Amino acid sequence: MTSTIPPELERSRFTASVRRHHRELHVHCYRMLGSFEESEDLVQETFLRAWRARDTYAGRSSLRAWLYKIATNACLDALDKRPRRVSATGEVAWLQPYPDELLEELPGEGDDPEAAAVEKETIELAYLVAIQHLPPLQRAVLILRDVLDCSVNETAEVLETSAPAVNSALQRARAAMKKHLPERRSEWPANVDATAAERELLARYVEASERAELLGFKHLFSEDLRFSMPPVPGVWEGRDNVLQSWVDGGFGLEAFGSLRCVLTHANRQPAVVNYIRRPGDDRYSALAIDVLRIAEGTIAGIVTFDAAVFSSFGLPETLPRD
């Protein structure tokens, strides 16, 4: 039977129904791809594919499940067209951070403390880096089964494969994740007020940054500190090696300039936004965002992203001098 709904109204209703799932689909694509910007492109591709295939949606599953199937396969198609490899040293050159402010848009987020803890573990940068080591199909299976809690049969239906194939891929994916994920250590000792301790640690990090005090950093970093700056190649490991790399880059010299820092959060981790004022400048300009991983009361990892990511956080490009 031909629909009697005017095309404009049909399009409007369809758009409204799928847009409700925008943020969770964006996060799903982000886990698959590791790139914030590319994930937005894939969400739009998902909506376009859904519109074109709307007549095939028979309602046997929820609209949400149908969209996840389309999004997953759109990501797999994109990864097939643009295959990428993690470097031998483990950095993911295309990695981008995800603003916590946008994660708050997820439906039901924060209602269940236990669910929120699982969410954090599967959105942290260390998880994103580890999952990028997996072949795309294994990556999709792991996300569908372990993150979205889909059944074996549901996962097989999404990926148009068999249940035994799903189980096999999941087994290999879990083994690979254990290899590539860093040891999960508690952020703070059990008897410590985590909120107050994090606030103090960040204040000391900001102070060391703005005063260019390398010794101040040394007391905040774990000995096995890991530092990277995607898309810049290279991973620096060890507190002294990291600090030396900063010295080699001119940090602390007058010619380098002075920093002003602002606190934010990304990927459920604390982050420090850095603005720089070079000699002769009358304003501070966007420089970088440091996303911090805390373990046992010290900073165990820093992933630094350049100013290109400021727009996704809604951050200004400059700050006044005073």
With residues binned 3-state (H G I as helix, E B as strand, rest as coil), the percentages for the chain, rounded to 5, are 50, 20, 30
Length of the chain: 322
pLDDT on residue 118: 47
Cα 86 to Cα 62: distance, rounded to the nearest angstrom: 35
pLDDT on residue 186: 81
* Among 205, 212, 204, 202, CA closest to 277: 212
Q: How confident is the model at residue 69 (pLDDT cuts 50, 70, 90)?
A: very high
Domain boundaries, the chain: 7-180, 194-320
Q: How confident is the model at residue 6 (pLDDT cuts 50, 70, 90)?
A: low
Q: Please work out, in degrees rounded to the nearest 5, the angle formed at the alpha carbon of residue 121 by the alpha carbons of 116 and 125.
A: 125
Which residues lie below 8 Å from residue 4, measured CB to CB, with a gap of 6+? none
Average pLDDT of 249-257? 93
**3 pLDDT more than 80:** no
Cα 215 to Cα 236: distance, rounded to the nearest angstrom: 18
More confident residue, 11 or 200: 200
What is the pLDDT of the chain when averaged over all its residues? 90
Q: What are phi and psi of 243, to 5 degrees?
A: -65, -35
Farthest CA pair distance, the chain: 75
- Where b means 16+ CB within 10 Å and e means fewer, 235-253 reads bbeebeebbeebeeeebee
Q: Please work out, in degrees rounded to the nearest 5, the angle formed at the alpha carbon of residue 136 by the alpha carbons of 135 and 142.
A: 90
pLDDT on residue 190: 78
pLDDT on residue 5: 58
pLDDT on residue 91: 84
Q: How far apart are the first and last CA of the chain?
A: 68
**8 pLDDT more than 80:** no
* Among 206, 187, 189, 201, CA closest to 268: 187
pTM of the complete model = 0.91
pLDDT on residue 108: 64
Q: In the CATH hierarchy, which top-level class contains the domain 194-320?
A: alpha beta
pLDDT on residue 58: 67
117-170 pLDDT per residue, tens: 447 889 999 999 999 999 999 999 999 999 999 999 999 999 999 999 999 999
Question: Cβ distance 142 to 131 under 8 Å?
Answer: yes
Q: How confident is the model at residue 17 (pLDDT cuts 50, 70, 90)?
A: confident
Average pLDDT of 170-195? 88
Average pLDDT of 84-110? 86
**113 pLDDT more than 50:** no
pLDDT on residue 116: 47
Q: Find the range with the poorest average confidence among 62-66, 289-293, 313-317.
A: 62-66
**114 pLDDT more than 60:** no
Q: How confident is the model at residue 4 (pLDDT cuts 50, 70, 90)?
A: low
Q: Find the range with the poorest average confidence among 59-63, 287-291, 298-302.
A: 59-63
Q: How confident is the model at residue 109 (pLDDT cuts 50, 70, 90)?
A: very low
Average pLDDT of 51-63? 81
